[in-house]
Every structure is written in C-alpha cells, then in structure tokens.
Amino acid sequence: MKFINIYIVLILLMTSCEFLNFKSSPENEAIARVHDKYLYQSDIKDLFPENVSEEDSIAIVKNYIYLWAKQRLLLYNSELNLNINKDEFEQLVNEYRDDLYINAYREAVVNQYTDTIITSKEIQNYYETNKESFHLNEELVKLKYIVIGKEIQNPKEFTQLFSSGKQKDIEKIMENEYKLKSYNFNDSTWIRYADLQQKLPILKKTESASILTTTTVIQKQDSAGIYLLKISNILTINDIAPLNYVSSNIKQMILHKRKQELLKKIEETLVQDAIKNNQFEEYK
C-alpha cells in the first residue's frame, strides 16, 4: 500500500481567545483539511455543551478534528488501494441507503397504526395454544423464608412459629419484624432459584437437589444468621413455565405478530393502489 502525505491545516490558534468564540467566526471558515476535503466552522458549531471551559473546548475540537481526519484518510486510502469494482460497490451503497429509508418508513407506519392493547384473554389463549414453546431452562420456586441473626436469644420460638405455617403465627413473627434480617411470606409468586441464591448466599453452598426436592421446613445457618425456608412448589428445567412468568414475553410475541401482519397488509395495499393508479405496471 502506498504511503501518502497527510496535510491537516488547523486555522484556529489554540491559545487565542478567538478559539473559544466560535460564533463570531464565519461558518464557512475552514478549520482543517485532508487532501481536497475541508472541515468547516459550521460543522462543529453544535459540538459544545453549555458552560464548557476553555480547556474542554480545546480538547473537544482537537478530538473532533482528529476523528474527522482519520475517517477521511481511511476513506481516501480505501478508494485508492482497494481492488474492487467501484460500480458494484456503489450499487451496494445505494441498496443500503434504500434499505435505511424503507426500514425507517416501515417502523414509522407500524408504530403509528399497530394496536398495542393486549388483553389477558389474548395472553391466556396464546399461552394455551403454544405451551410447548415455554419450557423452562431454569428452576423456579414458590416459598416462604425468614433470616434471623444468631444474636437472637429465642431462635427456637421463631422456628416453631415459622414451622406451623399458621397465619396467626406469621403475624406474630411480623410483630418482631425488626429482629429479621430478611423475609418473604408471599409463596404465591414464582422466584428464580438463581435469584434466591443471590438473596440467600448460603444456598450457593448447598446442593440444589437437597433444596428442590422437599417441601418440609429447611433450616440452615452460617456466620450471618439462621435461615428457615419452606418451599410450597417447585418447577425444574424443561417443565412448562407458568403463565404469569412468561406473560410479558407473550405480550411482545403478540405485538410482534400484529406488526408483521399489519406491515404485510400495508405493503399489499401499497402495490394494489399503485397498479390501480397506473403508478406500477409489469411488462411481459
């Protein structure tokens, strides 16, 4: 590859007060050059945030000029040294440009006309029809748990109250909420077992099989405290995911399907209207 001489001419003086007062300079004043391409004052007028310091202004301009020059030099060298068919390359550029316009138009039209309201019944129907698409790749659990500090004088009382599972005993535990380091009594919601391990690090040191195969009260302890867990339900890998766990994903799937159907309808209508108005005809 040939080496080329790089000429970048800075018009602005770095130490001059005029360097910062860009608005006072003509917008068509060149501030840098690479071969026959120029960078003008007007190209950098929107670079500066409010209340920018002199030092930061200089750094911003220098960095922008450097990046601009590098891009122009790379482009110049690519045109000079690449052994390519320029006509084919320009065709690819034009096709890419066309795709940008078309995709932007499609997105704008679809976003404007797509009905984004999705009812719970629609989600339920989609779920029932496509259940086999919702196999889990992780374990889920429903459980209650409490974590109490080892300094608590009556841990057995908490253990007995928690083990009973009665609402009145849970309420009694909550009367001493300030003694709990962490707790969860909502066992109607599915929790990722991986998230539970993050919340209760002691589970990382315990074989998951010993946790996920029992519904009895589990008691563990470490230097941080005493852990009491009671799992009410378990779903393992490859089980069908529960509806409330995948409902947000289903919404996105339904919305995507609607957009695709709308887009297809719009495109078909566009072609038919063009034929009707003699804007499109096919020659045989």
**Where do the domains of the chain lie?**
17-83, 136-235
User: In this structure, which amino acid lies at residue 35?
Assistant: H
C-alpha 114/C-alpha 202 separation (Å) is 48
Tens digits of residue pLDDT in 147-163: 998 777 778 888 899 98
pLDDT confidence bin for 56, thresholds 50/70/90: confident
C-alpha 102/C-alpha 234 separation (Å) is 48
What is the pLDDT, as a whole number, of residue 68? 92
What is the pLDDT, as a whole number, of residue 5? 39
Mapping DSSP onto H, E and C, the string for 202-262 reads: HHHHCCHHHHCCCCCEEEEEECCEEEEEEEEEEECCCCECCHHHHHHHHHHHHHHHHHHHH
Record the tokens describing residue 121, joined without a space: 């019944």
The total number of residues written for the chain in this structure: 284
Predicted confidence (pLDDT) at residue 6 exceeds the cutoff of 50: no
Tens digits of residue pLDDT in 191-223: 999 999 999 989 888 888 888 877 788 899 888
What is the pLDDT, as a whole number, of residue 27? 60
Predicted confidence (pLDDT) at residue 112 exceeds the cutoff of 50: yes
Query: What is 136-235's CATH number?
Result: 3.10.50
Residue linked to tokens 């315990």:
206
Which residues are within 8 A (CB) of 59 and not within 5 positions of it... i.e. 6 or more apart?
none
- Are the beta carbons of 44 and 61 closer than 8 angstroms? yes
Which residues are within 8 A (CB) of 12 and not within 5 positions of it... i.e. 6 or more apart?
18, 19, 31, 61
* Percent of the chain clearing pLDDT 70 (strictly above): 90
Count CB-CB contacts under 10 A for residue 38.
16
Tens digits of residue pLDDT in 242-279: 999 999 999 999 999 999 999 999 999 999 999 999 98
Rg (CA), the chain: 33
Average pLDDT of the residues of the chain: 85
What is the pLDDT, as a whole number, of residue 19? 45
Q: What is the pTM of this model?
A: 0.65
